[in-house]
Amino acid sequence: MGLPQQHPDQESSQQSTTQAQPQSAAPRDPSQLPPEALDLVTKLFDFARQGKTPELRQYITAGIPLNLTNHKGDTLLMLASYYGQVETLQMLLEKGADVNVLNDRGQSPIAGAVFKGYDEVVRVLVGGGADPRAGQPNAVESAMMFKREDCMRMFDIGEAEREEIAQRLPPSVR
């Protein structure tokens, strides 16, 4: 399997045709991507969920966008965080992934890690610059709702801020 070969006489006429076609700046609709591309993207998100760090690293090194999102707006980092994949998360942060990208529901990676109770993931995200006040509900509110005292300490939440947050939460979770 290789690239189709063209005859030298065809090259100049094909080049002018290719150059004359305007290129769209708008991103392609995922439903228009070839099945092979969709399979690859699915595999990349599975690598993040499953903690297949070496495999994902190869694709990132080859040029796959670090902040690639799926149909829900979840990044590779979001999925690695939500599934507790610390090594994959660390690799993505080292490569420069944005730790504060919110998905389509306004959720942050750090709030998801707090919700799941993954303290080590929360520590790595805080160390990587995650904003615990980003998103809705944010990580601070999630820590209060689920009584994650270790997270509250990591976020350096004082008593005055705790009281303010508690007023915004439903009485059943205060």
Lowest mean per-residue pLDDT among 44-53, 74-83, 120-129, 154-163: 154-163
Contact 67, 98 (CB under 8 A): yes
Q: Cα dihedral sign for 61, 107, 89, 82?
A: negative
Structural element, H or E, at residue 81: helix 76-82
- What does the alpha-carbon distance between residue 164 and residue 168 come to, in Å, rounded to a whole number? 7
Band of pLDDT at residue 70, cut at 50, 70 and 90 = very high
CA distance 137 to 160: 19
In 3-state terms the chain splits into helix, strand, coil percentages (rounded to 5) of 60, 0, 40
Decide if 79 contacts 116 (C-beta within 8 A): no
- What is the identity of the amino acid at 53? T
Domain boundaries along the sequence of the chain: 34-173
Q: Is the pLDDT of residue 157 over 60?
A: yes
Q: With a cut of 80, say whether residue 24 has pLDDT above it.
A: no
CA distance 76 to 95: 12
What fold is seen in the domain 34-173? 1.25.40
Tell me if residue 69 falls in helix, strand or coil: strand
pLDDT of residue 44: 97
As a whole number of angstroms, the distance between CA 115 and CA 95 comes to 25
Res 80 pLDDT > 50: yes
**Can you give the pTM of this predicted structure?**
0.77
